[in-house]
Amino acid sequence: MVRLARGKGFAETFRRSELAAFDLRDVSFSAEGLVLFVGRSKADQERHGAEIGIEAVPGSALCAVTALRRWLEARGEAPGALFCRLDRGGNLMGGADGRLLPIDPATIARVVKRVVTRTGIGAAEFSAHSLIDHDEPPRRRRAAPDGA
């Protein structure tokens, strides 16, 4: 999660609640990078859903595609939340149905604060909400195909 918090593609595009809501089945990889399906979003008042493409940046320490691939290697193929809860021992937490439980959006905020503090930027002046690039048009978002 720390590497993903630094990844520019995730940093500009998603709210904490959206990150926490992703399921493993919402991600697919393409030759250019990855595509995430956002089923519900504050920006999508009509609830159509959207596919968001994030381009790979080969060789970059901030490549969100590489970071997600590494996370998936560690996470494994269990069904459930893409970004899941960990217990104090660092083990993935699953529900009674065997699906991995989603990370709490507040945990995402704490991870972002920790990463920002390590960079030397004043964490008090920064929040997880600061990640979203409100000035950039939502060019990565495209409507999901009918039936998606």
User: Which pLDDT tens digit goes with each residue over 133-144?
Assistant: 444 444 344 444
User: Which helix H or strand E contains 144, and what residues bound it?
Assistant: none
Which of 111, 129, 147 lies closest to 4, judged by CA?
Answer: 111
32-91 residue pLDDT tens = 999 998 887 666 667 778 888 888 998 988 888 999 999 999 999 999 999 999 999 999
Enter the pTM of the model: 0.74
- Residue 28: predicted pLDDT: 95
List C-alpha distances in Å: 91 to 1, 84, 85, 118: 14, 10, 8, 24
How large is the average pLDDT for residues 1-27? 70
**In contact, 46 and 66? CB cutoff 8 Å:** no
